[in-house]
């Protein structure tokens, strides 16, 4: 008497592809101009609704695969639900990390434009400070800044008086901001 026929073991690719696709789409949305507004308030909830249905489908596939003794398929189907739980438990960190990656994508994709805009400003008027606001909401703004004097690297409030005069008519003029160096004299900033 023969035992039950075991179907060939297979590994499902779609749960991993869907998980990576959702994360990549969220990063790309956050890389758009005003991407934080689009990503968090408009597109984010739609992606969240879709992302809540897919784990249930994947769990159903996993249970069906276990019944059929297709263990690799069952384990591979559980990748997306497990990742969904991890994202839900670390939601704030995932959003922040996606936003940071989106800002870097935005900087490197727009670098020729940013560099060209800075080159238009004559360097004979002292160190150049150019601020590009890439997203914002109400009184908050995020963006890219070119600071030839690198005074943005200093703690807020320790900049020279000349730098404060140059920054006065920009998003940095209120003195409530933070900055991280990206490359050379380029910084990403957030202002309240």
Type and span of the H or E element at 118: helix 91-119
Do 59 and 81 form a contact (C-beta atoms < 8 A)? Answer: yes
Which pLDDT value is given to residue 187?
A: 93
φ/ψ bin of 175: left (φ > 0), alpha (ψ from -120 to 50), beta (otherwise): left
For 123-134, write each residue's pLDDT tens digit: 887 789 999 988
Any idea where the domains of the chain sit in the sequence?
14-89, 106-191
For 1-34, write each residue's pLDDT tens digit: 555 555 555 777 877 788 788 778 777 777 777 6
Which pLDDT value is given to residue 147?
A: 92
The residues that bridge with 179 in the sheet, in sequence order, are: 189
Which pLDDT value is given to residue 185?
A: 93
Do 90 and 27 form a contact (C-beta atoms < 8 A)? Answer: no
Q: Is pLDDT above 80 for 50? A: no
Do 36 and 137 form a contact (C-beta atoms < 8 A)? Answer: yes
Q: How confident is the model at residue 67 (pLDDT cuts 50, 70, 90)?
A: very high
Which pLDDT value is given to residue 7?
A: 52
Which pLDDT value is given to residue 178?
A: 86
């Amino acid at each position: 008497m023969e035992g039950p026929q075991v179907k060939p073991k297979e590994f499902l690719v779609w749960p991993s592809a869907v998980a990576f696709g959702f994360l990549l789409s969220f990063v790309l949305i956050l890389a758009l101009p005003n991407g934080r507004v689009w990503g968090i308030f408009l597109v984010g909830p739609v992606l969240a609704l879709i992302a809540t249905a897919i784990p249930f489908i994947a769990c159903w596939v996993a249970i069906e695969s276990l019944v059929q003794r297709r263990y690799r398929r069952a384990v591979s189907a559980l990748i997306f639900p497990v990742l969904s739980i991890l994202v839900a438990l670390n939601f704030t960190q995932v959003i922040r990390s996606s936003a940071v990656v989106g800002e870097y994508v935005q900087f490197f994709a727009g670098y020729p434009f940013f560099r060209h805009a800075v080159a238009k400003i004559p360097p004979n008027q002292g160190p150049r400070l150019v601020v590009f606001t890439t997203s914002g909401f109400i009184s908050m703004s995020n963006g890219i800044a070119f600071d030839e004097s690198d005074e943005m690297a200093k703690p807020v409030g320790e900049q020279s008086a000349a730098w404060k005069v140059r920054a006065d008519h920009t998003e940095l003029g209120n003195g409530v901001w933070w900055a991280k160096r990206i490359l050379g004299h380029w910084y990403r900033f957030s202002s309240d």
